[in-house]
Structures are given as structure tokens and as C-alpha cells.
Amino acid sequence: MTATRKRTRRNADDAKRVILDAAEARLARSGPGGLRLQDIAADIGLSHPVILHHFGSREGLLNALNARTISQLKSAMHAVLDQATSPRRELIDQVLDNVFSAFDGGLAQRVAWLGADADNPPGSMSRALSDIVDLIHGGRLIYAERVGGALPDPEDSRMLAFMVTTIAMGNAIFGAQLLGTTSPANHTAQLNHFKAWLARNIQFYLQASMIDALPSDLPD
């Protein structure tokens, strides 16, 4: 007798999560060209119409992957950015660690592949990241008002967010080659050295842009 595979009944949220997990796995193996709904359905024992029921189309699935990718980045930053974004060094170190770790976990490849897919709406990634910029800028405004410093320019906050996310994404994809590291331990040491250098420069810039005083004169 041939054993039949018992199909698990799932609620809508669970079904969407399983489909998105399978789509991410396909994306990791094959890039956006591997995101065929029939193949994803076969991977998890569903029928193609079930995916269409939950996402409407391949473009709908891509949009959901896009939203999930951005949500993962936001989750990595929220814990520290819910505080006022001040020039405190430990806060800057924590933000950098969270962002670099998020991109190292496969986020960089998903951002790159989803952004390159022809079915993804143009500009969707930049629009989705705009609320992260708003979060950063809001924290800077709170701190500037608290210390009586000059209010930061929103465009300046956008450039800071762009710089950090671009560096973290580049490290996740090309970091070992660009740093010339020969082992995981060596790469970790070099990367930590770079992140400390980057944090010092961001700290100095934030201090200089917020208040006309020496860095040591600023409150925490």
C-alpha cells in the first residue's frame, strides 16, 4: 500500500507564514527566478490555487516577501531606536550590531533579489524603509529638543540611515572579500574593528550636528 500524506489544516495566518517561509527558502537557493508558485506549492504540499487564494498572484507574494523583509529590519532596530537617538556610544554600537546582524541573517540577499525582480513595484523598497528613517529622525528630534541643540534636517537622517543600511548590506554580501579576511574568526575581528571605527565617526558627527559644543560637554 502506498502511504498517503495527511494534509495539515492551517488557519490563514499560519498558511501565509508557511508559504512565505517556503518562498524565502526558494529565494535563498535560486534567486527571484526560482519563485514559481507551482514549485513553492509543491515544496509544502499545497495546491497552486491555495497560494493564489492567500496572495492573489506572484506579484502579491513578492509584495508580502518585501513587507516581511522590511519588518525584519525594523524589528532589529526598534528595540534601540524606541529610545531617543542620542550620541551615546553604547546606543550607536547597539544599533550597528542589530542592523549588521539582521543583514547577515540572509536579509541582504532577499533585499537585493527582491529589489532586482521585474515584478516588484519600482521604489517599493525605499518607500517601505521610509518609516525607519522617520523613527531615526524622531529620536534625533527628541534628543535635540532635550539638550537645546539645533534641530536635525530630515534629509540628514535619511542619509545616515542610507549609509548604515548600505554598508551593512554590502558587508553581508561582499564583506569577507573586501576586507580580505581568511577565516570566520579573522573576519569577525576585522568587522568589529570597522564597526567601532564607524561608531566613533557617527558619534562625532551626531554630536557636532546637534549642539555647538565639544563632544565631552554634551549630556548623555
Q: What is the pLDDT of residues 140-192, one digit of tens each?
A: 888 888 877 778 888 888 888 888 888 988 898 888 888 888 888 888 899 99
- Dihedral of CA atoms 168, 170, 171, 172 in degrees, nearest 10, equals 90
Query: Residue 218: its pLDDT value, please?
Result: 47
Element containing residue 212 per DSSP (H, E): none
Residue with cell 557617527: 202
**Taking the model in full, what pTM does it have?**
0.69
Q: How high is the mean pLDDT of the chain? A: 78
**Integer CA distances (angstroms), 209 to 20, 146, 153, 203, 213, in order:** 42, 14, 10, 10, 10
Yes or no: say if 76 and 97 are a contact pair by the CB < 8 Å rule.
no
Residues written for the chain: 220
Burial of 174 (C-beta count, 10 Å sphere; 0-12/13-18/19+): exposed
Residue spans of the chain under pLDDT 50: 1-6, 212-219
**For residues 40 and 20, what is the distance between their CA atoms, to the nearest angstrom?**
9
Cell numbers of 150, please? 539645533
| pLDDT for residue 19 | 92
